Amino acid sequence: MNLDKLVVNGEEPGPHLLITAGVHGDEYEPMETVRRVFKIVEAVQSKLKGTLTLVPVVNQPAFKLAERTGADKLDLARICPGKEEGSESEQIAYAVSTLIKTADYYIDMHNGGRYHNIFPFSGYVLHSDESVLESQRQLAKAFLLPIIWGTDPGLQGRTLSVARDANIPAIYTEIGGAGIYQESNTVLAVEGCINVLKFLGMLPGKAKDSNISYHLEDHRKESGHLQRLLPSPTDGFYMPVVSFGQEVKEGEIIGYVQDVLGQSRTPIKADQSGIIFILRSVASVQKGDALGAILPVRQNNKLQSIYE
């Protein structure tokens, strides 16, 4: 299995940066971001130091189906490092994992897919190696998104787990989603990628300083597992009553799940205080579906750490 990729080789030595998109097939702006970053960097190839490798759509079978996963239903963000002789998704996981191990730095771009919309943030794992962790903090800042979230390093099967085990500084980004293409999200992500290239000294020019609103490091187990946040208590029709970035207090009603006739309305309450950073974008829900998530931040512009 070979991944379709775009590579720009600089004329001077420098690091190897890998940027991937489309690990999930229904996350569109990252795919366009990667294609656009290629065109921008290719046009100034003589000024590039090092190597830039770009994969616009890691999971092409899933993209063709307009689904998160391919026909075998295996989530690429759960089965890395994959299997060379496995199912289609396992082979893709193997190919992307092998590629990650060749990089010096790695960015994996995502969004909320068809079912969720995500307030822009950069994330990384709370790596046990302090120098890798610090590089990841710097990369996350250089991507210029308003929220930075460091989470449980123990989650397995991710592209970031492969980078973690190889001590390669890596971040992931989440911007928007809802299964639609939004140009403004692409613009944001392109700016982030180019700024990281400048930050790493791969492109000339001074990197912009980040203007982050919140920087949280959450050391609690399974922090960062997006699908498990705020599960719906029942089947029904979900209506959020909050908007992105809004501050909420624990216990505050953030939406309702109602039945078909509107006779029963189950309030959904904030499970913690913080800001709304993920919202479900599809009204039809089944019991257990993730309705959204709150980032438990309490202070602006400062690194805040949460422990068990």
Could you tell me the smallest distance in angstroms from the CB atom of residue 195 to Zn ion?
22
Whose Cβ is closer to Zn ion: residue 5's or residue 110's?
Answer: 110
Whose Cβ is closer to Zn ion: residue 115's or residue 238's?
Answer: 115
* Rounded CA separation 115/291 (Å): 9
137 binds Zn ion, rule: CB under 5 A: no
Could you tell me the smallest distance in angstroms from the CB atom of residue 24 to Zn ion?
4
Residues 6+ apart with CB under 8 A from 131: none
Could you tell me the smallest distance in angstroms from the CB atom of residue 23 to Zn ion?
6
Residues 6+ apart with CB under 8 A from 62: 22, 24, 25, 26, 68, 69, 70, 76, 89
Interface with Zn ion by CB under 5 A: which range of 78-86, 102-110, 254-262, 294-302? 102-110
**Single-letter amino acid code for the residue at 103:** A
DSSP 8-state secondary structure symbol assigned to residue 47:
G
Interface with Zn ion by CB under 5 A: which range of 18-26, 39-47, 185-193, 242-250? 18-26
Whose Cβ is closer to Zn ion: residue 78's or residue 219's?
Answer: 78
Whose Cβ is closer to Zn ion: residue 174's or residue 217's?
Answer: 174
Question: x/- binding map, residues 60-99, to Zn ion, per CB under 5 A?
Answer: ----------------------------------------
**Single-letter amino acid code for the residue at 58:** V
Site for Zn ion in 247-286 (CB under 5 A): none
- Total binding residues for Zn ion by CB under 5 A? 2
* Rounded CA separation 192/143 (Å): 4
Report helix, strand and coil shares of the chain as percent, to nearest 5. 25, 30, 45
Return the residue of 24, 127, 158, 164 that touches Zn ion, per CB under 5 A.
24
Whose Cβ is closer to Zn ion: residue 110's or residue 215's?
Answer: 110
Could you tell me the smallest distance in angstroms from the CB atom of residue 6 to Zn ion?
20
* Rounded CA separation 236/265 (Å): 9
The CB-nearest residue to Zn ion is 110
Site for Zn ion in 104-123 (CB under 5 A): 110
Whose Cβ is closer to Zn ion: residue 227's or residue 246's?
Answer: 227
Question: x/- binding map, residues 215-254, to Zn ion, per CB under 5 A?
Answer: ----------------------------------------
Instruction: Give the DSSP per-residue string, 200-261.
Output: TTSSSSPPPPP--SEEEEE-STTTT-GGGSSB-SSSEEEEE---TT-EE-TT-EEEEEE-TT
* Rounded CA separation 83/164 (Å): 18
Tell me: cis bond preceding 81? Omega within 30 of 0 counts. yes
* Rounded CA separation 138/150 (Å): 12
Binding site for Zn ion (CB under 5 A): 24, 110
